[in-house]
Amino acid sequence: MKYKRILLKLSGESLMGDKQYGIDNERVKQYAEDIKAVHDKGLEIAIVIGGGNIFRGLSAEKSGMDRAQADYMGMLATVINSMALQDALEKVDIKTRLLTAIKMEQICEPFIRRRAVRHLEKGRVVIFGAGTGNPYFTTDSAAALRAIEIKADVVLKGTRVDGIYTADPEKDPAATKFEEISFREVYDKGLNVMDMTAFTLCEENQLPIIVFDMNKHGNFMKIASGEPIGTLVK
């Protein structure tokens, strides 16, 4: 396997499957099976999930809600998603730990960096919930931050598309895909990979990002094995 320790970033919307809202159990089950296959190869896996399938802070702010309040609600949505994935992973016999940036001891552990690293070293899949614990930061930023803190080898961003394109391939059929691109080129071309805070964190800490289609069964294993699918940003 190409990597020893990876951080997988999933959007909340990816958990919806074909639904308009909430969690598609079949999609979560597929993710759990793909994660198990990679975990069984000995890789250390940490995961960050968004909450957009349940609540999105930015959208609520536009409707008149206080931004900080809306963001805290979004953080709670990420914990719901994290618990759903945790349950699916445990059903396929993967030991997990859910660590959150906001304390809620009855259902998870508080995030402590050294504890998170120790869980990974013991072969547990670690899920980081509640973003960074601060409003005005996205789960992309949380993924970049946690990946740096645990010294992950790479951030794998699982999306609905199979990489980074010159334009949105769902809207522009003429869009072409990048196999590999530099951080500077992403800035210069104005491409939307992650929010700027997350992207800058990765660049400054020389942490590569791979954007790939997580919805295709087996892609996660191919990425972990070093196959050149998706788009590499380095």
Binding residues: 9-12, 51-52, 56, 71, 132-139, 159, 165, 168
Find all residues with CB under 8 Å of 13, minimum gap 6, and list them: 50, 52, 53, 160
Helix axes 139-149, 196-204, angle to 10 degrees: 20
**pLDDT exceeds 80 at position 58:** no
Domains, the chain, in order of start with CATH, read 5-233 (3.40.1160.10)
**pLDDT exceeds 80 at position 64:** yes
Binding residues for UMP: 51, 71, 132-139
The predicted-structure confidence for 133-176, as pLDDT tens digits, reads as follows: 999 999 999 999 999 999 999 999 998 888 999 888 878 888 89
**pLDDT exceeds 80 at position 219:** yes
Higher pLDDT, 162 or 125: 125
